[in-house]
Amino acid sequence: MRGGDGGSGSVLAVGVCAATLSALLLALALTSAVVARHRAEAVADLAALAAADVVVGRAAGQPCARAAALARGQGADLLACAVAADGSVVVTAAVRPAGLAGRLGPARASARAGQATEG
Q: How confident is the model at residue 104 (pLDDT cuts 50, 70, 90)?
A: confident
CA gap 71, 51 in Å, rounded? 11
| CA dist 83 → 53, 64, 70, 107, 113 (Å) | 12, 8, 16, 23, 10
Residue 39's pLDDT is what? 97
Instruction: Flag whether pLDDT at 32 surpasses 90.
Output: yes
**How confident is the model over 37-96, as pLDDT tens digits?**
999 999 999 999 999 999 999 999 999 999 999 999 999 999 999 999 999 999 999 999
Range 8-25 average pLDDT: 92
Residue ranges per structural domain of the chain: 8-113
